[in-house]
Amino acid sequence: MTGGIDALYRQHAPAVFRRARRLLGHDADAHEVVHDLFLSLFERPEQYSRSSSMTTFLYAATTNACLTRLRNARTRQRLAQENIAAVAPTSAVPSPEHVALLRDALERMPEDLAQVVIYVHLDELTHEDVARILGCSRRHVGDLLERAATWARKAEAAQ
């Protein structure tokens, strides 16, 4: 794969960037995610196990990298101070305040729950698609969504 990293980058970097920008809301952070992800893939090509397509692998890896970045204290502070505009091209664009609250919840939520919430509620993927990305059953996706809802209720009650 290292010989074809240039071709891989040219083919997939734009999609990785769009995904990262959608989740992070900031171009500079999205560019860093793209750089870090492809550098990691260049240095450790074995992390791609070929059990899924490269697109699926990069989709999940980008989501994980963005969740990690959202949990970074410096990024949280910057997001709280900025006026965040939603970058997702949807018919009902959420308010900047709603996006900031969602990002705040995602950075505190356990990673497995945050992933499934992003895939189902932000990306509007089916349980079957999410199960394929996560490598689990559709039933487990439903269980994770229930746990995420319970976590959100408890977090809201604690505030």
Could you report the per-residue pLDDT of 26-41, keeping only the tens digit for each? 898 999 999 999 999 9
Task: Give the C-alpha separation, 99 to 97, whole Å.
Answer: 5
Q: Domain check: are 122 and 62 in the same one?
A: no
Asked whether 94 and 87 are in contact (CB, 8 A), the reply is: no
- With cut-offs at 50, 70 and 90, classify the pLDDT of residue 3: low
Number of domains in the chain: 2
Does 9 share its domain with 76? yes
Q: What tokens does 8 get?
A: 């891989």
Asked if residue 113 and residue 70 are part of one domain, the reply reads no
Distance of CA 11 to the CA centre of its chain: 19
Percent composition of the chain: helix, strand, coil (DSSP 3-state, to 5): 80, 0, 20
- Number of other CB atoms surrounding residue 39 within 10 Å: 11
Domain that includes residue 143, residue range: 109-159
Q: Establish if 124 belongs to a structural domain.
A: yes
89 vs 126, higher pLDDT: 126
